[in-house]
Amino acid sequence: MLGFRRFLPAANKTAAVLAGIGLVQVLTIAHSFSQSSNLRSLDELYKIRDRLIAQLENPGSPSPEPSFFSRLVPFTANSQETAIEDLQAVEVQILVEQRANDNFQQAVRLAARAVETGRQQDGSIESAQQTQFLWQKAIDNLAEIPQNSFLARLTAAKNQEYSDNLTAASARLQQAKSNLLGAFAQESGLSGKASIGVCNLSRHCVNLRGDVPPVSPASLIKVPVAVALMDKVEKEKINLNQPVFVNRSNFTEDASTRIVSPKNYPLQTLLEEMIDRSSNTATNQLIDYLGWDYINRSLANRNYQVTRVKSKLIGERIRPANLGIGPNRLTANELTEMMVQIYNGETPGAKLLVEILNQQYDRKLGFAALQGTQAQWLGEKTGENSLVLGTTLAMNVDGEAYIITVIDSGGRDPQIRQSISKIADYISKNPGF
């Protein structure tokens, strides 16, 4: 390379021209140069570079390659300038290929480590996370290889292979997390039918039977009713102070509500009483206000496949009129996603819903469970009847919000609380769960 230094003034002139063309075009030109010469390896590029340098050191010798830049750069160049241009293109392509090779080899090394880690997996979350991490890093290295590299075709094949392995590793990680929830449920004394959903607001989620509808959603179904109500309020520009008449036919027993019938109440009051004091009467009136079709169409439009409101709420003895056409349905996964949307501000009226959830009157489950943990309670909706007990709550751990939903058939307060405490403690010690 010492001899090449004599040509730096001319090379600098050409470099200025190349700078005017732009780096992306230079890379394209370099790629075209390699394609026009049918080059397939770094060794060939090194040989071409050596021959170009030899030509520059011996100006009378014939050019080893046809002039390429003369067809792309609009200025007249003598043979020496043309050789320098071609040398520039070769140097760019060499740089591309060297970096591509480095990234490819690093990806292969990471993949080998991922395979070895996968073989040694002990079923723990930590082991599964490490395997997933290594496959992802291998794919990230492949992504750094440009499409104009000699390695592009091999990279595409490896990327498919590694992506398949990443999918399998991610599934194993999810299973490990689900197994942990199962262990928490068993240690807490929950039944074998308990369902749990856990998500952060970035939708990194894990669940235990989260897609299995409980035998009844009880008062947890009031969250979907609230979501449908706020959807209507926003679309139709309804004032929340609008009075709504609570018909006597919608009355049923309530534990702590202040709603009586027949009487007018502002729409917002009925919403608040439905959520924070779990009023069955307010819920029944809001179902009539919205209509079955509107509620369920709204839920379907928000991509909830299972959650449907088909029945009014019943107290101990009194059945409201127009009771409905079937059982209410939801899953822990869909209810958790609903809460994620609310706390992400993705649901109409989300700010008001967050405020109402924070006013939850019944604090015997999630709120009590987080006492003594590092998690801060943000809001909650509980549900209970003779068949199920459950809650969905929002909490904050070190500045990150999480949603936890726990529903159990025939569940009891201590078991629900203990399961939530265990989940919150684990998240506090293992951020990103």
Q: Is the pLDDT of residue 408 over 60?
A: yes
Nearest to 197 by CA among 354, 343, 392: 392
Check whether residue 132 and residue 13 sit in a common domain.
no
Same domain as 20, residue 68: yes
HSE, CB side, 13 Å, CA atoms: give it for residue 170. Answer: 11
Note whether 220 and 344 are same-domain residues: yes
Inform me whether the pLDDT recorded for 161 exceeds 90.
yes
Contact (CB, 8 A) for 255 and 361: no
Over residues 304-343, the pLDDT tens digits come to 999 999 999 998 889 999 999 899 999 999 999 999 999 9
| Residue that terminates a domain, selected from 116, 136, 169 | 116
Domain that holds residue 283: 189-429
User: Are 348 and 307 members of one domain?
Assistant: yes
Chain-wide mean pLDDT for the chain?
Answer: 87
Decide if pLDDT at 5 tops 50.
Answer: no
Residues 81, 158, single domain; the answer is no
The domain boundary, picked from 64, 97, 116, lies at 116
Q: Is the pLDDT of residue 112 over 70?
A: yes
Cβ neighbourhood burial of 371 (10 Å; 0-12, 13-18, 19+):
exposed
Q: Is the pLDDT of residue 253 over 90?
A: no
Quick one: pLDDT band at residue 60, thresholds 50, 70, 90?
low
Which tokens belong to 308? 């449907």
Instruction: Tell me what pLDDT residue 428 has.
Output: 96
State whether 325 and 379 are in the same domain: yes
Whether 20 has a pLDDT exceeding 50, the answer reads no
Say if residue 202 is in the same domain as residue 311.
Answer: yes
Considering only residues 10 and 28, tell me which one the structure prediction assigns the higher pLDDT. Answer: 28
**Residue 156 pLDDT exceeds 50:** yes
The answer to whether residues 270 and 278 touch, using CB atoms and an 8 Å cutoff, is: no
- pTM surpassing 0.95? no
* Closest by Cα among 311, 306, 354, 312 to 330: 306
Residues 256 and 361 in one domain: yes
- Residues 261-275, mean pLDDT to the nearest whole number: 96
Same domain, 363 and 377: yes
Residue 9 has pLDDT above 80, yes or no: no
Q: What percent of the chain stands above pLDDT 90?
A: 70
- Tokens 């010492």 sit on residue: 2
> 257 falls in which pLDDT band (50, 70, 90)?
confident
pLDDT of residue 4: 42
Verify that 149 and 210 share a domain, yes or no: no
Residue 22 phi, psi (nearest 5): 105, 145
Percent of the chain whose predicted confidence (pLDDT) is above 70 = 86
pLDDT at 352 over 90: yes
Measure Cα distances from 4 to 8, 51, 62, 229 in Å: 7, 12, 17, 77
- What's the half-sphere exposure (Cβ side, CA atoms, 13 Å) at 64? 18
Rounded to 5°, angle at Cα 192 from 204 and 423: 35
Residues 227 and 259 in one domain: yes
Counted domains in the chain: 3
Instruction: Answer yes or no: is pLDDT of 143 > 90.
Output: yes
Domain closes at, from 183, 209, 233:
183
Longest distance between any two alpha carbons in the chain, whole Å = 107
Coil, strand or helix at 11: helix
Is the pLDDT at 73 greater than 90? The verdict is no
Domain identity same for 224 and 355: yes
The identity of residue 361, as a single letter, is: Y
